[in-house]
Amino acid sequence: MRREEFYKEVESLKGKIGMWKIAIGELNMSDFTLGCYFDNSSGLWKVYINNERGRHRIRLETKSEEEALSKLYDMISVKAETHIFCESRKK
């Protein structure tokens, strides 16, 4: 997924992901964050998820920015679907 396409698609999901934050181009260690960044020391794009209490996991390491953005978009989409489902069950 190209960067322009990624930003367009993610913009439509931002209001649907509840408490989750999105960090692009940086390593953000705050709780409930989905993100990706380029790690200069390894030369790889890293896609990560931070859950509560500092639980940080790298979900993908790749040389391709497009692959990293696609993976991050998939992760964001899942959070949006889960949030919408949970909100509909509250009613």
Give the pLDDT of the chain (91 residues) as one tens digit per residue: 899 999 999 998 888 898 999 999 999 999 999 999 999 999 999 999 999 998 999 999 999 999 999 999 999 999 998 865 455 545 5
Q: How far is CA 42 from the centre of its chain?
A: 20
Q: How far is CA 44 from the centre of its chain?
A: 16
Q: For the whole model, what pTM was predicted?
A: 0.87
Under a CB-based contact definition with an 8 Å cutoff, are residues 46 and 66 in contact? Answer: no
